[in-house]
């Protein structure tokens, strides 16, 4: 099974780099991995239906639709740009591509197998990263804060998971979030691109918090990747992408994406990237 999909606008020639790299690491929410997950359980057995609900809840719903549309439009509107997109296809709930290996995999599964999967995926992603000038991490997140200290350990039962889905993310409401600061207090991301996103969110009267949901920490893969290539990381709340009927769902598996809201964010992010390259082109004149 594939851990990620790769979309490339150009075949690079020797010495060339991609102008822009889009990365949606947590997009996968299908049933494809469920038999493998059940085979690798080191703890209690969960039904396929409950596993799928948990995978959907933990996935960044909407990040696939956002990133793929942006990639397609960017390559159409700026065919001279060399653009790369990677969409994660491994379930974040069991292999988090934004965590160092020690924290990427829960104890409820056999770690050796999943660590091999994680390490192989991240090695290829980092190799591709080295071939890019700039990149954007696209995430979505649950719309309320988590109120439970949750860890998927071997003694977790089906009822525990059901309670987590129904109750955990019932805290204070979250806004969209842009990560800029490391927990050590230093500005960590790419300020030039960050500022464009912040300005354009404000222009649309969409609340965009800075580092409120969380900050860059050493156990995030993104923290180390951002150190290597100038990057921004955006978290869009699922609330802002969901239908009116499902946007208040505590259980993220119940979220249904709203096409009109998705398109608003697709346009917003695309326009911000185009604005960034417009500035870059002027600097070269």
- Could you give the CA distance from residue 66 to residue 163 in angstroms, rounded to a whole number? 30
- Average pLDDT over the chain, rounded to whole? 94
pLDDT of residue 171 exceeding 90: yes
- Could you give the CA distance from residue 71 to residue 69 in angstroms, rounded to a whole number? 5
4-284 carries CATH number 3.10.350.10: no
113 — alpha (psi -120 to 50), left (phi > 0) or beta?
alpha
The pLDDT value given to residue 19: 97
pLDDT of residue 285 exceeding 60: no
In this predicted model, what pLDDT tens digit does every residue of 245-265 receive, in sequence order? Answer: 999 999 999 999 999 999 999
In this predicted model, what pLDDT tens digit does every residue of 10-20 receive, in sequence order? Answer: 999 999 999 99
Dmax over Cα atoms in the chain, in whole Å?
62
Q: Position of tokens 């960017």?
A: 74
């Amino acid at each position: 099974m594939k851990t990620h999909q790769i979309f490339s606008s150009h075949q690079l020639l020797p010495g060339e780099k991609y102008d822009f790299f889009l990365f949606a690491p947590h997009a996968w929410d299908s049933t494809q991995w469920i038999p493998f997950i059940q085979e690798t359980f080191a703890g209690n057995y969960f039904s396929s239906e409950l596993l799928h609900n948990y995978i959907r809840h933990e996935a960044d719903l909407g990040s696939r639709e956002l990133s793929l549309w942006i990639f397609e439009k960017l390559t159409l509107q700026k065919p001279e740009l060399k653009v790369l997109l990677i969409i994660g296809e491994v379930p974040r709930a069991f292999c988090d591509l934004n965590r160092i290996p020690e924290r990427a995999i829960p104890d409820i599964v056999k770690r050796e197998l999943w660590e091999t999967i994680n390490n192989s995926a991240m090695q290829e992603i980092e190799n591709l990263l080295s071939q890019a000038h700039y990149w954007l991490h696209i995430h979505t997140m649950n719309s309320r804060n988590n109120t439970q200290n949750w860890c998927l350990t071997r003694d977790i039962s089906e009822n525990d998971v059901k309670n987590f889905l129904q109750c955990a993310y019932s805290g204070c409401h979250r806004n969209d979030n842009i990560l800029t600061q490391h927990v050590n207090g230093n500005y960590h991301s790419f300020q030039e691109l960050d500022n464009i996103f912040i300005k354009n969110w404000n222009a649309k009267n969409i609340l965009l918090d800075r580092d409120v949901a969380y900050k860059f920490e050493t156990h995030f893969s993104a923290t180390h990747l951002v150190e290597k290539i100038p990057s921004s990381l955006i978290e869009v709340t699922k609330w802002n992408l969901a239908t009116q009927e499902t946007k208040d769902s505590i259980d993220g598996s119940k979220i249904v994406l709203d096409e009109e809201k998705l398109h608003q964010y697709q346009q917003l992010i695309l326009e911000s990237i185009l604005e960034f390259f417009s500035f870059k082109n002027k600097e070269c004149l």
